[in-house]
Amino acid sequence: VPELPEVETIVRQIRPRLTGRTVRAAALKKTDVLRAVSRQRLLRTLRRNRFTAVERRAKHAVLVLASGHRLIVQPGMTGSLIVHDQALTEAQRTYAVLICDLDDNTQLVYRDVRRLGTLLLLDQRGWVSYSDRIGPEPLDQSFTPEVLRERITRSRQAIKKVIMDQGRVAGIGNIYANEALFLAGIDPSKAANRLSGDQVKALHRTVQEVLEGALRASGTTFRDYRTGTGERGSFQFELKVYGRGGEPCVRCGRRLVTTHAIDSRATTFCPSCQS
């Protein structure tokens, strides 16, 4: 699933193309991506509505409409959100799920090959309760080491699980959790409430470092993730542990270990550098 840097990359690229544009016509090809909205209500809300802002919350793109509604797009592993200048090719049309014709003759297209992503339409009140259930944004100025400490240290669960819990901290998934824990020298299976004060500070620093580094690289592309202009990200070339099980640790040269025991997802770490 695209994490914070990938969705932020998409949002920054489509924002100038989409803001201020009015939807002339909207078409939905598949309904299985819809959450809490019917096809009819979604299309009726989009038609003749105007995009007033494009934002991100956690791993979701938030398209704000003049009516006060928000279209929340959570691109799954195979989803992309692109504004096209030219008529769609046959291939682009094949997996298009939502197509909005805009008043400057461009098209906003949500495309999703396996339809693992979701589209959600919320009114103002629905948005407030939705956003309130998500933890603080790790790249906000207000996200201090103290905020991180408050969010994580009461849990006895593995720190890797805790920092991926969207209710505690927003936007961090498997890739960046692996990377931040390696850079901070923290064992991913360590109980969150057993982290020292220095470890919390280190993790706060490395979470921001790794997310900002990934943003500069337009995200991580293993297979399907594409930016808001259809390009690939390049942070996969900078990963220190994720996807590198069995390879030598960049710090000590010993073999990195991959386990699925923590949260049934791949966790790769260095047993000698992380404790």
CA distance 43 to 25: 8
* Closer to Zn ion by Cβ: residue 16 or 271: 271
CA distance 59 to 166: 9
Which residues form the interface with Zn ion (CB under 5 A)?
A: 249, 251-252, 270, 272-273
Q: Write down the least CB distance from residue 177 to Zn ion, Å.
A: 18
Q: Of the listed 24, 115, 201, 265, which one is catalytic?
A: 265
Q: Write down the least CB distance from residue 253 to Zn ion, Å.
A: 7
Q: Of the listed 17, 59, 70, 151, which one is catalytic?
A: 59
Q: Is 154 a catalytic residue?
A: no
* Closer to Zn ion by Cβ: residue 38 or 272: 272
* Closer to Zn ion by Cβ: residue 39 or 254: 254
* Closer to Zn ion by Cβ: residue 119 or 183: 183
CA distance 67 to 61: 18
Q: Write down the least CB distance from residue 247 to Zn ion, Å.
A: 11
Q: Is 3 a catalytic residue?
A: yes
Q: Is 50 a catalytic residue?
A: no
Beta strand 118-122 with 34-35 is: parallel
Q: Is 265 a catalytic residue?
A: yes
Residue 186, sorted as left (phi over 0), alpha (psi -120 to 50) or beta, turns out to be beta
Which residue lies nearest Zn ion, judged by its C-beta?
249
Residues with catalytic function: 2-3, 59, 265
